[in-house]
Amino acid sequence: MTQKPVLRDLLMLVPIIDLRDPAAHAEIVEKIRYASEKWGFFQVINHGIPQDVMNKVIAGVHRFHEQPKEVKMKFYSRENEKKVRFISNYDLYVSKAANWRDTLYCAMAPNPPPPKEYPVACREILIKYSEDVQSLGQMLFGLLSEALGLNPSHLTDMGCMEGHVFVCHYYPACPEPDRTIGHAIHCDPDFLTILLQDQIGGLQVLHEDHWIDIPPLEGALIVNIGDLLQLISNKKFRSVEHRVLAKRAGPRISVACLFTTFYQPSNKLYGPIKELLSEESPPLYKETLIKNYLYSFRSLGRDNDSALAFLRL
């Protein structure tokens, strides 16, 4: 584990952005620009997804993971191409330390599997939440486009939200949390992540060489920039390292929605957006296929440099 100071006592908080007031549109865009450039993380409130839906998502994922082993093992697979799969300690073979969590992966768009392939314990609520988070994603990509000085539809037109997958984590209570990690240090291999978490806590983001806690905030969703958005924004927006600590309290439940095209093979090249380039701001990265970037990401393991290092010019 990288030994960086942890700041808990200082008033250094990940930005919180209220999306409710349409009259404050310019202010919201500016706050998102600042957060995306300086932090790579922010929380959103009044985002349009009902608290009742979020509570049911957490409950459904908890219900799945609390089932007997033989029920969950019907979904077990280490094949990345499977659209619904359960895995225990995913990073076992790619990280220096075992991670204290189990994970359910569910591909939700653009070509989801038949509903019967999702676990019955959380099937209906994940399908409902997928619709809600798709709408929120469209709003956020519009705001992010404007924050880059582009047309509001630019990132959507590029295909940034063509697909999304739910990564549903279950972190059991850990008797010796100092001897392991919930989720090893990593950056996200997508365009954008929207994270729903319960009230246990443990998520930390690396900011100015310090680990900053992101305490749970009732009703909020956490948003972070992924590697692919850093790539196409020519590093104007930052994909930053983060981790989840193992805790004595638990289980902790989180559901990350990753906007990406994992399950939709494409020959489309992604590179720095031309409108963001100039003599003063030349391209920092080569163009790449998503599948080639993912190959680098998976080959690196979880304790190494970002897969974007292979694309630097």
For residue range 221-273, what is the model confidence (pLDDT) as tens digits?
999 999 999 999 999 999 999 999 999 998 999 999 999 986 676 788 999 99
Q: Which domains does the chain have, with CATH numbers?
A: 6-263 (2.60.120.330)
C-alpha 133/C-alpha 204 separation (Å) is 23
Would strands 183-186 and 192-197 be described as parallel, antiparallel, or unpaired?
A: unpaired
The CA–CA distances, whole Å, from 51 to 44, 95, 221 equal 13, 35, 11
Q: 48-71: per-residue pLDDT in tens? A: 999 999 999 999 999 999 999 999
Q: Which of 15-24, 175-184, 276-285 comes out lowest in average pLDDT?
A: 175-184
The DSSP secondary-structure symbol of 229 reads H
Q: Report cis status (omega within 30 of 0) of the bond before 110.
A: yes
Q: Has residue 178 got a pLDDT over 70?
A: yes
What phi-psi label fits residue 300: left (phi over 0), alpha (psi between -120 and 50 degrees) or beta? alpha
Q: Which of 59-63, 165-169, 185-189, 272-276 comes out lowest in average pLDDT?
A: 185-189
Q: Considering only residues 21 and 30, tell me which one the structure prediction assigns the higher pLDDT.
A: 30
- Closest listed residue to residue 212, CA positions, set 2, 5, 36, 69: 5
Q: 100-115: per-residue pLDDT in tens? A: 899 999 999 998 999 9
C-alpha 170/C-alpha 234 separation (Å) is 34
Q: Has residue 161 got a pLDDT over 50?
A: yes
Indicate the length of the chain as a whole number: 313
Instruction: Tell me the three state secondary structure of residue 267.
Output: coil
Distance of CA 163 to the CA centre of its chain: 13
3-state helix, strand and coil shares in percent for the chain, rounded to the nearest 5: 35, 25, 45
Q: Has residue 2 got a pLDDT over 50?
A: no
Q: Has residue 309 got a pLDDT over 90?
A: no
Q: Name every residue whose Cβ is closer than 8 Å to that of residue 303 and which is 6 or more positions away in sequence.
A: 95, 96, 184, 185
What is the band of 4 on the pLDDT scale with cuts at 50, 70, 90?
low
- How high is the pLDDT of residue 9? 46
